[in-house]
Structure 1
C-alpha cells in the first residue's frame, strides 16, 4: 500500500540523515537549528519541479490535491480517510 511506501521512504531518510534536533524535528531547516519552514518547502518543491522538467503550473498544495485524488481512486472512504470536515470539500479534489 502507499502508506507503507511512505513509511519506508521516511525510514530511509532517517537512516541517512539521522536528524537529532533537541525538539525532535524530522525535517530540519538550512542551519539545522529549527524545523524546515514553509518557504524552505516551497523552494525544495520548485527545485524538484525544475529537475523533473514539469511544465504544468503546480504548487506545493498540488500535492494535497493529488493525494486526495489518488485516495479516492483507490477506493478510500470519502471524508473519513482525508479528515475533511465535509464530503463536498473532498469531492472538489476529485472533481465530483
Structure 2
C-alpha cells in the first residue's frame, strides 16, 4: 500500500488530532518523516554536520566521513544529512 493510499484511507475515517495520527500511521506502515537539516556553508561549500558524520557535495557527488560505529541517534542524524545532500544534488523528494 502506498503512503498516499494510507493517508487517503485515514483521512476518510478520522478527524481531530490528525498530525500525530498521520505520523503514527506512516510509521506503523514502515515510512518515516525526516526533517532535513540545513547545511553549513561558511566554508564556501555546503556541509551537513552531525556529531558522528560529515556529508559534503563535491563535483556532483555526495562525500561522507563517518565515525564507526555510531548509536541510533547519531545514525538518524547521519541519515537525514545524507538525504539532504542527495536532494541538494537534485535528487527526487
More helix per residue: 1
More strand per residue: 2
User: What is the TM-score of this pair, normalised by structure 2?
Assistant: 0.24
